[in-house]
Amino acid sequence: MYKFELRDTFFLPHAACEVSLLLKDREALVLFGENGIGKSTLLYRLASQLPNEEYVIVEQKASEYFYDRPLSVIKNIFLELKLPGFNSMSFILLWKLFGLEEKENRFLSYLSGGESQALKLVLALCKDASVYFLDEPSQFLDPEKKKILYERLEELRLKGKQVLVVEHQKENLPKGWKIQELVFNDYLLQTGAEWTI
C-alpha cells in the first residue's frame, strides 16, 4: 500500500496543490481531469517520492531519440544489459504483443505515432516495479493495442502491483479500476469525486 501526499503552494504557475491519494495493494487508479489541470505534473511529483527501483514511469510526450537506429538495436541493448529489475520474458512477450517483432529493421525516425508509443510502453513495462505510473498510455494506439495494454496492466494489478494512470477516456478501462477525479477549487488542485468502474 502506498500513501501519496502532495501539498505545494507553487505546484503550477497558477495553482497550489493539496492532494492525498491512497493506492492499496492490487489497486489501479485512474486520474481524470480537464486539460492543463496538472495531472501529468502530479504524476511525476508522486513518482519522485519513491525510490527508483520501486517505480516505472511512461511519459506522455514522444521520446527524444538522439540516435536514429533500427528497433533491433534497441532490443539487443536491453537483452544484453540485463539491468536490475529487467524481466526478459515479459520484454520478449510484450515486444511480440505490440507488434514490434515484424518491424525490427525499421529505423526510429520512420516509426508512426502508435509504434513509438508501443515501443515506449514495452521498454517501461518490462521492468519489475511495484508501482506503474502511466501518463496517457493509450494515446496513438489502435483499439487492438489499447486492449492489449489494459489487459497487461490488469495482469500486473492482479499480480499485486499498483497502477496509476492518467487518462481521458473511460473506454477500455478494466472493471474494478478506481477513477479519481481532480478538480480546481479556488486555484487549488484537489481530489474530487471517486468511483469504481
Partner 1 sequence: MDYLILRIVSSFLTGVLLSQSGSLIQLGARNILASPSTLGFDGLAILWLLIFHSLALFFNFNQSSEISLLIGIPFFIFLGLMFPRFLKGNAKFERIVLLGLTFNLLVGAVFSLWQFFFMAFNLPFPVELWFGHFRFASFNSMLILIATEALILVGMWGYFPKLKMFSIGPVMSMNWGLNEKSLFRFLFVVVAVSTFIVVNLFGAFSFLGLVLPIIARKLWFKKADLKGEFFYGSFLNGLSLMSIDLLCYHFPIYGAEVPVGLIVTGIGAVSLILILWASYKDSEIVANLKK
Q: Which residues here bind partner 1, judged by CB under 8 A?
A: 52-53, 56-59, 63-67, 69-70, 73-74, 77, 80-81, 83-86, 109-110, 120, 123-124, 127
Residue 16 in grid coordinates: 497550489
- Least separation in angstroms between residue 11's CB and partner 1 is 16
Q: Where are the alpha helices (DSSP H) in the chain?
A: 39-47, 71-81, 88-97, 113-125, 143-158
- Least separation in angstroms between residue 161's CB and partner 1 is 15
Nearer to partner 1, 89 or 171 (CB): 89
- Least separation in angstroms between residue 96's CB and partner 1 is 20
Nearer to partner 1, 81 or 89 (CB): 81
Q: Please tell me the distance from the alpha carbon of residue 186 to that of residue 95, in angstroms, as a whole number.
A: 45
Backbone angles phi, psi at 129, to 5 degrees: -110, 175
Q: Taking Cα atoms as reference points, which of 33, 127, 131, 144 lies closest to residue 89?
A: 127
The Cα-based distances of 64 to 29, 120, 162, 182 in angstroms read 28, 11, 27, 29
- Least separation in angstroms between residue 66's CB and partner 1 is 4
Nearer to partner 1, 10 or 66 (CB): 66
Nearer to partner 1, 90 or 172 (CB): 90
